Structure formats: structure tokens, C-alpha cells
Structure 1
């Protein structure tokens, strides 16, 4: 059996991200899913780009603040204690709008973990 408690504040933020991202999977010893904690200040986005995944399912659970998720059809507003789910092949861009009054804190889970599964999406193409 294997169990771990991870102090998420002890995990160093990833460099060169548009917001604070703490990659928690490795610290937790996880191999079947990717788990990240994000804190996005007003005007910051969570992913590096508007994107989609071929295989990976993603969920964003909002801990505090309000997350906005742009899709080709609409922009969703996700409040604290709500979960936003994304199926493979569905483009999205999660962000905290410039006019927001507070940061948004989110736990994101993707499965299966797929480093080479993300593809940029151009909404104007």
C-alpha cells in the first residue's frame, strides 16, 4: 500500500508559466493522472495557450475566486466549489479576467497524464 501527504506550498512553482502552477503529481507519486494547483491573479491565464487534448480528460475544481473558461461556443463562469469538465478534443482556455477583483485558485486534474497530448487551438482559424 502507498499513501502520501503533500504540502502543496512546499512544491516549487513551475517556471515560465502565465500564473502560479504547482505540479503535484510527482510529489504525490502519481503516474496515472496529472494534478496541478494554480493561482491566477486578475489578467492571468492558466494554460500556456488556448488548446485541446487528443486523449486527456481534464477537470478544474475552483477552490476560491471565479474561473472563466473560453470555448469556441461560449465562455463559462465557474464559481468556487464548482467543477468544470473538459472532454478530449474540446478546445479551452481557462483564465482570470483583467477586471476580476481577486485571484482564482484551482486544482486541475488530467487523465491519462499526457505531456505530448496538448495542441494549440486558434479560435480565428
Structure 2
């Protein structure tokens, strides 16, 4: 048995204000589990993506999350869950009042098996003028940040850092 206080797990730099990886903390061997808090405008993921071998379930604890999917937009409220099978493209957001006055989304993400497999990702590139394949990494100029970079032209399309208040924030 393993036991952990979620608030005591480090906040990973992600597009969510708070993302705490619980997988290792709980000793999970074939299940990925993450806790999220999304401020208005935040996303669960760096880009629109899919997992080639992993199914992913999100359980919304509070707030309302909105997913962009290949079949349209899906809204998930408190005490509701959504499942994406391997190969289903998606990206979830907190779309409530993106001016900063909305409620945070609190959710758990569960994925099995633990391996993600291939994860093709796309995001809007201002240079290319369309959704383009992107890569995620840490930049040389700030190894604490995480960036998404357009694979076609090399433009940085997103950068996330830890803010002074301890929450993650997007700066590009």
C-alpha cells in the first residue's frame, strides 16, 4: 500500500496551473495518474494529441472542462468522466471566462497502460499560419521552462514557466 498527500507532490511545469504526477509517488506499475488544477484558459496538454497505446480517462472533480476532439467539442462537468481510447485525438481546456474570473477545474487523469506509445501533437503555428506538428522540450536559455516548437519551421509556439505564486503560467 502507498499513501500520498496530493498537495505535497511537486508541481510539474505544464500548461495547467497545477499538475502533480502521482504515478511514481503511489508506486503505480501500469497506470499513469495525474492531478490537475486548470485556471481559466489553461489546458491539460501542451498540444492537440493522441496516445497510440494508452487509453486516458479524465474525472472532473470540480469546475467544467471542455475537450476539443475530432468529432467536436465535449463539455464535462463536476462528477463526470470522459474516456479517450488509443488513437483518439483530443485536448482539454478550462474555457470558463478566460479573462481570469472563472472557476478552476480540478481533475484526475488516469492512463493505462503506463506507456504512452507514440504521441503525435499539433498546435497553431503563427509563422506557418496553421496547425503544425510540434515537439516539446526544455530550452537552453531556461532549463526550468517547457516549450513547444513547430517541427516545420522551428518557431516557438508556446512556453510555460513556474510563476512567483507557484502556479504554472504561459509566457508565449
Instruction: State the TM-score, normalizing by the size of structure 2.
Output: 0.66
Count of aligned pairs: 122
Per-residue Cα deviation, 1:35-65 (whole angstroms, up to 9, x for no partner):
0000000011111111001100000000000
Q: 1:33 to 1:47 in 2, by over 3 A?
A: same
Pick aligned residue for 1:36 from 31, 34, 38: 34
Gaps of 5+ in 2: 124-129, 133-172
Structure 1 moving runs of 4+ over 6 Å: none
Query: Higher strand proportion, which one?
Result: 2
Partner secondary structure for residue 58 of structure 1: strand
| Aligned-partner Cα distance in 2 for 1:116–1:72 | 20
Q: 1:56 touches 1:117 (CA, 8 Å); kept in 2?
A: no
Q: RMSD between aligned alpha carbons?
A: 1.7
| Alignment of structure 1 residues 48-67 onto 2, 5 Å | 48-67=46-65
How far is 1:116 from its partner?
Answer: 4.7
Offset of residue 117 of structure 1: 3.1
Are the counterparts in 2 of residues 37 and 106 from structure 1 also a CA contact under 8 Å? yes
Using the alignment, how far apart are the partners of 1:5 and 1:40 within structure 2? 24
Aligned to 2:15: 18
SS in 1 for 2:7: helix
The TM-score normalised by the length of structure 1 is: 0.90
Following superposition, the deviation at residue 113 of structure 1 comes to 1.3
* 3-state SS of 1:9 partner: helix
Structure 1 SS opposite 2:25: helix
Aligned match for 1:73, one of 71, 74, 82: 71
